[in-house]
Each structure stands twice: as C-alpha cells, then as structure tokens.
C-alpha cells in the first residue's frame, strides 16, 4: 500500500493548490486507487452495485445511445441486430437450442447457439428448417461459409 501524502507534504487548504497537487500526483492516485480496489474487492463491488442501482436510468439511456450509434455506423452489427429481431419476431431467440448437442461436432457441454445451415449472406432463410443448434466454436469457425466449404476448410485445418 502506498501513502497518498508523502512525509513533509501537507494537504493544501487552498483549493487551487490542492487541484494542482492532484494533477501532479495523478499517476500516484491512480495506483493508490488500483491498490485499494484490489484489497477492498467487497467494498468496491458493493459501491459499484449501489452506483448501478442509483443510476439505473442514466446507464440504460447511455447503453441505448451507444447501441444506436453502433447500429448506424457498424454494418456487421446492424446485420446481427436485424437477424436477432427477425428471429425474435418469429418467436425464436438465441437460447432456443440451449442444452442441445451441437449439430456439427455433437458436443453438448458447450452452450448451443442458433446457426444458419445456409448462411444468410448466401440467401439462407430464417426459417426453422434452416436453423440448427451449434456450439460457439463451430458457429464462429463456420462463419459465413457454406457447409461444403466449411467442411473442406475444417479438414485442412484440423481433424474432428
Ligand atoms: Zn460444435
């Protein structure tokens, strides 16, 4: 633990001087804060929880704003949101296959996500007949590849 005030240093009564001192010691204060958080995890968590509770509305508005911004700027993200909304509209959600074994590798100890057999980018529909449970690893590795292409890539890269 480091001491905030070095010996010989007295806290300033003058606010301007105190502000200067804070600026001069910014790095030290940061380190002090980090150390405090490490040794006072419980207190930190409690205060974070309290902050979140007290600022619930503000935080939610900020998150919405950020998502909206990303939606207009990030085309990939826009696609994901639209796809999610479309699925939700049909009564499906991202957890609809949870607990089911992965369609591709058969693993059932990984959370199953919803995957499009024929990728949407290749005209695959959001119909249930085109949706399969897939573990995150397979889903991420398959990406926008068709099944045939993906199997070829997978064979080249690893055995499964
Ligand atoms: Zn899998």
Q: For the chain, which residues make up each domain, given as ranges? A: 15-53, 55-89, 93-157
Residue 53, pLDDT score: 93
- Distance, CA of 31 to CA of 29 (rounded, Å): 5
Helix (H, G, I), strand (E, B) or coil at 3: coil
DSSP-assigned beta bridge partners for residue 112: 135
Q: What is the spatial distance between Cα 69 and Cα 63, in angstroms, rounded to a whole number?
A: 10
Residue 143 Cα, ligand 1 centroid: separation in angstroms? 12
Of 10-14, 49-53, 57-61, 147-151, the one with minimum mean pLDDT is 10-14
State pLDDT tens for residues 72-124.
Answer: 999 988 988 887 787 777 777 777 888 889 998 888 866 888 888 888 888 88
Cα gap 89→63, rounded to integer Å: 23
Report the separation in Å between the CA atom of 134 and the middle of ligand 1, taken as the mean of its atom positions.
5
Q: What is the pLDDT of residues 37-54, one digit of tens each?
A: 999 999 999 999 999 999
Class of the 93-157 domain?
A: mainly alpha
Task: Say how many Å lie between the CA of residue 109 and the centre of ligand 1.
Answer: 10
Look up the pTM and report it: 0.45
CA of 63 to the centre of ligand 1 (A): 32
> Ligand 1 centroid vs 107 CA: distance in angstroms?
6
142 CA distance to ligand 1 centroid (A)? Answer: 10
- Checking if the pLDDT of 158 tops 60, the result is no
């Amino acid at each position: 633990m480091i001491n905030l005030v070095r010996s010989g240093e007295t806290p300033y009564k003058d606010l301007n001087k105190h502000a200067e001192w804070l600026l001069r010691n910014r790095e030290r204060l940061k380190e002090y804060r980090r150390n405090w958080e490490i040794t006072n995890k419980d207190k930190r968590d409690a205060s974070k929880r309290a902050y979140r509770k007290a600022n619930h509305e503000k935080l939610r508005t900020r998150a919405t704003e950020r998502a909206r911004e990303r939606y207009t700027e990030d085309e990939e993200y826009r696609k994901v949101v639209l796809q999610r909304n479309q699925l939700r509209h049909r009564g499906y959600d991202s957890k609809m296959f949870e607990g089911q074994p992965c369609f591709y590798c058969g693993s059932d100890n990984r959370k199953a996500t919803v995957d499009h057999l024929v990728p949407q980018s290749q005209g695959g529909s959001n119909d249930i007949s085109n949706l399969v449970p897939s573990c995150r690893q397979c889903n991420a590795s398959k990406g926008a590849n068709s099944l045939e292409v993906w199997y070829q890539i997978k064979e080249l890269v690893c055995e499964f």
